[in-house]
Amino acid sequence: MKIYTRTGDDGTTGVFGGPRVTKDSARIEAYGTVDELNATLGLARSHAGWSEFDTILREIQSELFDLGAELATPDPQVHGTVSIGPSQIERLENTIDQLQQPLPPLTRFILPAGTPLAATLHLARTVCRRAERETVRFSHSEPGKVREQLICYLNRLGDLLFVLARSANHRAGCPDELWERSSQRR
């Protein structure tokens, strides 16, 4: 099987069980950004080694494939691509709660920095927030086509990635780097 088909040379792409759409459509932007997030999590895993973080991120990567498949399908119920729901969201919340317990309380904003793992998780968090925004934009462009659970999952995932970044730094003995206003640094 060839990797190139030439069918997208006109600026369109096929969606699962649906028509061809332009590559800059809200649907493609949404699941394309979810794919970018997934690749960023792969980069984070390369810094995680075989740790609890790797296990958490691998499960999230699989769920992001599910989420992307649903976004890529015009009729997810008919094609069986509905997978993300309350149990996945609850698992993210439980993981946040567990990881946050040993962390020092936040009193100020922190800079997205620290260990390579933490910095990559902060990058993944920003890509996640963009995926969330693109999914919301898609939901507005085609009302009724995006289940609320998908947006909720991405929102909670952004929170988890923030806590994972802080936890990675904490476990490495690298304190959060606090943001200071420009006027305070003088």
Per-residue pLDDT tens over the stretch 51-100: 899 999 999 999 999 999 999 988 867 676 789 999 999 999 999 999 99
Q: Are 173 and 112 in contact (CB under 8 A)?
A: no
| Distance from C-alpha of 16 to C-alpha of 183, rounded to nearest angstrom | 53
Per-residue pLDDT tens over the stretch 8-17: 888 888 888 7
Per-residue pLDDT tens over the stretch 103-145: 999 999 999 999 999 999 999 999 999 999 999 999 999 898 8
pLDDT: which is higher, 68 or 21: 68
pLDDT average, residue stretch 162-172: 97
List the chain domain ranges: 20-101+111-173
Q: Are 165 and 123 in contact (CB under 8 A)?
A: no
What predicted TM-score, i.e. pTM, was given to this entire model? 0.92
**DSSP character at residue 178:** B
The single residue listed with the structure tokens 């099987």 is 1
| Distance from C-alpha of 132 to C-alpha of 144, rounded to nearest angstrom | 16
Question: Which amino acid makes up residue 78?
Answer: V
Q: Give CATH superfamily name and number for 20-101+111-173.
A: Cobalamin adenosyltransferase-like (1.20.1200.10)
